[in-house]
């Protein structure tokens, strides 16, 4: 295959190209017959969480069960994606409440990260989801709050056919090595930097 050549859907290599766009042209095979991937979106540019939200949208369109677990510290205010996801029937769970992020005590950060990871592991192994996003999990690995082996063994033991999406800056070498699909978003220009422009509704929050 040539580099960057778009991939045809695996199940229907010879399916005729439909003249009109009918919804759901490819049936969804049972989960055990699907290939579960680990996708990683990292880098210093904007678009990592956005990409994961896009995958949630696509998965829901396929009739899949999807959820996002967020390690980020959030405020009480719901963002656009929380409300939008609820409309789609996608669970977005913010675990950041109380997450101190670089508090004085690394032990406290470790404890909270472990607590959050335990919730992620439970969701993944419940078998309820076809696609699960762990938003900003990268930091917990980069800062050593979670051990790579601990995380990898949970991911490896997940139900067959389940996709996992991990986002965040500072993806470690080990995580990149473990992932099946890794994309790096690189900042070229950001209005915060060029114009001091803050977060915009519908774009960032």
**Contacts to ligand ATP by CB under 6 A:** 44-50, 167, 169, 185, 187, 190, 192-193, 199, 204
- Tell me whether residue 160 is one of the annotated catalytic residues: no
Joined together, the tokens standing for residue 146 give 């979670």
Active-site hit among 34, 73, 91, 101: 101
Residues 84, 87, 93, 94, Cα dihedral to 10°: 30
- Tell me whether residue 136 is one of the annotated catalytic residues: yes
d(CA 106, CA 96): 16
DSSP state of 45: S
Among 42, 49, 70, 162, binds Mg ion (CB under 5 A): 49
Q: CA nearest 36: which of 165, 138, 154?
A: 165
Active-site hit among 42, 81, 117, 136: 136
Active-site hit among 42, 48, 117, 162: 48
Of the pair 38, 96, the CB lying nearest Mg ion is at 96
* Choices 46-54, 62-70, 101-109, 194-202; region in contact with Mg ion by CB under 5 A: 46-54
Q: Which does 47 bind (CB under 5 to 8 A by kind): ligand ATP, Mg ion, none?
A: ligand ATP
Q: Which does 199 bind (CB under 5 to 8 A by kind): Mg ion, ligand ATP, none?
A: ligand ATP
Number of helical H runs and strand E runs in the chain: 7, 6
- Tell me whether residue 134 is one of the annotated catalytic residues: no
Tell me the pairing of strands 163-167 and 131-135: parallel
- Tell me whether residue 42 is one of the annotated catalytic residues: no
DSSP state of 31: G
- Tell me whether residue 73 is one of the annotated catalytic residues: no
**What x/- string results for residues 127 through 166 when contact with Mg ion is judged by CB under 5 A?**
----------------------------------------
d(CA 126, CA 162): 11
63 burial (CB, 10 Å; 0-12 / 13-18 / 19+) is: exposed
Q: Which does 169 bind (CB under 5 to 8 A by kind): Mg ion, ligand ATP, none?
A: ligand ATP
The residues annotated as belonging to the active site are: 44, 46, 48-50, 58, 99, 101, 136
């Amino acid at each position: 295959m040539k580099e960057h050549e778009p991939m045809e859907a695996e199940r229907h290599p010879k399916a005729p190209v439909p003249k009109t766009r009918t919804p759901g042209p490819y049936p969804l095979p049972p989960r055990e017959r699907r290939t579960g991937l680990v996708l990683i979106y990292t880098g210093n540019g904007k678009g990592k969480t956005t990409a994961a939200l896009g995958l949630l949208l696509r998965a829901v369109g396929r009739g899949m069960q999807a959820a996002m677990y967020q390690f980020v510290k959030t405020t009480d205010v719901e963002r656009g994606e929380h409300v939008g996801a609820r409309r789609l029937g996608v669970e977005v769970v913010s675990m950041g409440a109380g997450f101190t992020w670089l508090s004085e005590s690394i032990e406290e950060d470790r404890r909270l990260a472990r607590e959050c990871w335990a919730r992620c592991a439970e969701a993944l192994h419940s078998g309820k989801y076809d696609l699960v996003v762990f938003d900003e999990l990268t930091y917990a690995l980069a800062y050593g709050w979670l051990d790579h082996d601990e995380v990898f063994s949970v991911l490896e033991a997940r139900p067959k056919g389940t996709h996992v999406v991990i986002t965040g800056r500072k993806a470690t070498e080990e995580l990149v090595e473990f992932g099946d699909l890794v994309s790096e978003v690189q900042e070229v220009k950001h209005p915060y930097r060029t114009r001091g422009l803050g977060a915009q509704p519908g774009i960032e929050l």
